[in-house]
Chains A and B, each alone.
Chain A
Amino acid sequence: MNFDWSVVWRNSDALIEGTTLTILLAVTTMAISIPGGMVLALMRLSGVRPLVWASAAFTELFRNLPLILVIYTAYYILPVATGLSFSPVVTGIVALSLNVSAYNGETFRAGIASIRKGQSEAAYALGMTRWQTTRDIVLPQAVRRVLPVLASTWVSLFKDTSLVSVISVGELAYNSMRLRAQTYRVLEMLTAMAAIYWMLGYPQAKLVDWINRRYAVTE
């Protein structure tokens, strides 16, 4: 069996382009899903029935469907159902954000619930409103406490972006697969793809470990 690694270098443009898009997908999705998850958590904890139900329904729907199904649905059914059609990239971001927001919502909910009642009472005793208490006292502590969980969600998300290749988004997985099909260099392209994912993923995983140590709850 002979290998031709030059195929990787000759197609480095497409690989770099794919890698850039992978990073963009992950960053954009997380940028949407952190506030999204926070809104879901606050709705869930608001005590206002319709908001609680809406948040619970959203969370349980998107947390319990395979991501690939959400991606296909967003791509094939959403435009027909709503009359709006987005580019594959935007569709991919929407699908990923639905999924990750649902996860982040649960993460934030657990984080908020873990903050002692006495903290809110101390804020109320100063005359702060419920919203000021949530914004200035509870949320900042909750976010710190769930940082390790958010970090591992990020690492999962980074790899899960490869699933949007099924709707022809030219990210790293899609471009690698396309090159594989064009060049018939299966092992070379898969190895290059694996190497890139791993080299990007490994420092992130190490960063998560560091965050876990740094923000370990010692209370």
Chain B
Amino acid sequence: MSADGKSGRRGDGTVPVLAYRKIGKRFGDFVALAGVSAEVRKGEVVCLIGPSGSGKSTLLRCTNGLELIDDGEIALDGTPMPRDWNGMRRVRQRMGMVFQNFELFPHKTVLGNVTVGPMTVLRMPRKDAEARAHDLLRKVGLAEKAPSYPSQLSGGQQQRVAIARALAMEPEVMLFDEPTSALDPETIGEVLNVMAQLAKEGMTMVVVTHEMTFARRVADWVIVMDRGAIIEQGPSTQIFDAPAVERTRDFLSHLGWSG
């Protein structure tokens, strides 16, 4: 990013990892997304911020097809994604997702949680899947928790396992849906640190978050949403230090953000 923060977005001139073109999504009469267009580029951390109900999570869930879009098109590495469930499933393997409520599988150990994807979906032999899982658990600082069950871990530890579980599929892009919203304040930091580390290693990440300090510090690009539309997007410095749109300023000041 150049000094003036206006030009030189990372990956200019390359094919975006994710390209959203005029995405529309309705739930009955409720318009969740009204023509959203945006890009996520390789190695970028894109944060989606905005008031609750603004469509951030819906956009994220449409990205890996947990919700199917009604209008528009999402392209992964320049290839439009299929619109049907089975086609989406194959694309989905290339994206990792981390949920607000962790959604670890309670009947499996930590190791089992991290190996189940590679073993069932990629048909990886147990030995290889376990070796990969141990590497990833070490990476998120939970090497010694491999034999534990999720219920024996704190929220922050569970979420770090969930990150390892998603990484085990070696995704091209990681999707985070409010990853720290369900955490006790004292464990938020350990999860954000793991995410910042991932970002530093060049992982492409889309993060729905209310953690403005994290967004300010780690995001390359910030998208502000309200009522199913993007009201402003730009480099994080611009959004947080000099928001151009009134509603962005309102939202940030509402959260107590003072720049």
Residues of A bordering B, CB below 8 Å? 116, 118-119, 121-129, 132, 136-137, 140-141, 144
B66 contacts A125, C-beta separation under 8 Å: yes
Whose C-beta in chain A lies nearest to the C-beta of B104?
A122
Contact between A119 and B103, CB atoms less than 8 A apart: yes
Complex contact B121–A127 (CB within 8 A)? yes
**Residue numbers in A under 8 Å from B92 (CB-CB):** 124-127
Q: State whether A140 and B99 are in contact (beta carbons under 8 Å apart), knowing that A127-B90, A129-B89 are contacts in the complex.
A: no
Output the nearest chain B residue to A130 by Cβ-Cβ distance.
B85
Residues on A with C-beta less than 8 A from B166 are 125-126
Q: Are A141 and B66 in contact (CB under 8 A)?
A: no
> Is B120 within 8 A of A136, CB to CB?
yes
Q: Assess A140 versus B103: contact at CB under 8 Å? Given A126-B117, A127-B93.
A: no
Tell me the minimal C-beta distance from A34 to chain B in angstroms: 18
From B92, which residue of chain A is reached at the shortest CB distance? A127
Q: List 17 A-B contacts (CB under 8 A).
A: A118-B99, A118-B101, A122-B99, A122-B105, A122-B162, A124-B66, A124-B89, A125-B64, A125-B95, A126-B92, A126-B116, A126-B165, A127-B92, A127-B93, A127-B169, A128-B120, A141-B107
In the complex formed, the residue of A with least CB distance to B97 is: A125
**Contacting residues, chain B, for A136 (C-beta < 8 A):** 116, 120
CB contacts (< 8 Å) of A132 on chain B: these are 120-121
Assembly CA distance A45 to B15 (angstroms): 42
A127 to B66: give the CA distance in the assembly, Å: 11
Among B95, B97, B107, contact of A144 (Cβ-Cβ < 8 Å): B107
Inter-chain contacts of B99 with A (CB < 8 A): 118, 121-122, 125
Which residues of chain A are within 8 angstroms of B116 by Cβ–Cβ distance?
126, 136-137
Q: For residue B96, which residues in chain A have a CB less than 8 angstroms away from its CB?
A: 125
Q: Point out the residue from B95, B103, B169 that lies within 8 Å of A122, measured CB to CB.
A: B103
Complex Cα spacing A122 to B177, Å: 12
Give chain B residues whose Cβ lies under 8 Å from the Cβ of A129: 89
Name B55-108 residues within 8 Å CB distance of A.
64, 66, 89-90, 92-93, 95-97, 99, 101, 103-107
Closest Cβ of chain B to A58, distance in Å, is: 28
Contacts of A121 in B (CB 8 A): 66, 99, 103
> Nearest chain B CB to A209's CB is how many angstroms away?
23
A197 → chain B closest CB, angstroms:
35
A133 to chain B, nearest CB (A): 9
Bound complex: CA of A174 vs CA of B120, how far in Å? 50
Contacts of B64 in A (CB 8 A): 125
Quick check: B169 and A119 within 8 Å, CB to CB?
no
